[in-house]
């Protein structure tokens, strides 16, 4: 039933205090708020607006938000990204790479975005920028999504989909190009599933459900052991 999805989505509870970023004092006007389920869509919109205003520091906020639960690397990744994007040519390439991947979601274009965010072996964080750019079409992904996809893709009509390549601790690994290709193929199927279920829910309850909203529901279901019905 649709209710199982709506209940999981409304229970989404990922809150991040951006003020805990180690270099926050160096960025006045940024890293000064808490991102909650109530204002997460405003945060997504702020990122899209930053691409028009050449406001690269918002990308750093997104990076810190995404990696908030990874205490050992959230500051390191954010500092490295901000240092990289502070150069105008790198920021320009970052913007172009997001638009390019959005228009043509190919492995090659994903690798261009990955290089543009200075994460040559990254996967989940680069996709976060794509998802923030167009949450109606592109969901995010992380280890919880990868676990759920492994257990549920068959029953939801994606039996032929590849699995995400996960390390022993669950994190999606993308060190080699074959691993990256595997993960990208899995992601495309995951995104297709999210779009399809968003469409089904929208048609049944007359709400504007996005691919990103399906991802949030799945993330919450995996975290709390909730059952999501077939639709």
Q: What is the pLDDT along the chain (231 residues), one digit of tens a residue?
A: 899 999 999 999 999 999 999 999 999 999 999 999 999 999 999 999 999 999 999 999 999 999 999 888 999 999 999 999 999 999 999 999 999 999 999 999 999 999 999 999 999 999 999 999 999 999 999 999 999 999 999 999 999 999 999 999 999 999 999 999 999 999 999 999 999 999 999 999 988 999 999 999 999 999 999 999 988
- Which residues of the chain form beta strands (DSSP E)? 16-17, 34-35
Residue 17's SS3 state is strand
Residue 185 · residue 169 · CB < 8 Å: no
In the structure, how many helices (H) and strands (E) does the chain have? 10, 2
Residue 144's SS3 state is helix
Residue 132 · residue 59 · CB < 8 Å: no
Provide Rg for the chain, Cα atoms.
17
Q: In whole angstroms, what is the distance from residue 189 CA to residue 117 CA? A: 24
Residue 20 · residue 33 · CB < 8 Å: no
């Amino acid at each position: 039933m649709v209710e199982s999805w709506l209940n999981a989505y409304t229970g989404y509870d990922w809150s991040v205090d951006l003020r805990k970023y180690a270099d926050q004092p160096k960025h006045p006007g940024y890293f000064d708020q808490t991102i909650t389920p109530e204002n997460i869509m405003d945060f997504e919109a702020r990122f899209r607006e930053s691409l028009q205003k050449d406001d690269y520091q918002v990308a750093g906020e997104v990076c810190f938000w995404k990696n908030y639960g990874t205490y050992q690397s959230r500051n390191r990744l954010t500092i490295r990204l901000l240092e990289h994007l502070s150069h105008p040519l790198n920021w320009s390439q970052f913007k172009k790479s997001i638009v390019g991947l959005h228009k043509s979601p190919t492995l090659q274009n994903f690798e261009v975005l990955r290089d543009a965010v200075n994460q040559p072996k990254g996967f989940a964080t680069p996709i976060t920028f794509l998802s923030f750019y167009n949450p109606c079409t592109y969901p995010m992904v992380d280890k919880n999504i990868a676990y759920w996809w492994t257990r549920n893709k068959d029953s939801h009509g994606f039996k032929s989909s590849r699995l995400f390549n996960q390390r022993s601790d669950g994190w999606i690994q993308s060190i080699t190009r074959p691993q990256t290709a595997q993960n990208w193929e899995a992601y495309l199927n995951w995104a297709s599933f999210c779009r399809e279920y968003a469409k089904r829910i929208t048609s049944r309850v007359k709400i504007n459900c996005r691919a990103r909203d399906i991802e949030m529901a799945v993330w919450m279901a995996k975290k709390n052991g909730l059952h999501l019905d077939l639709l």
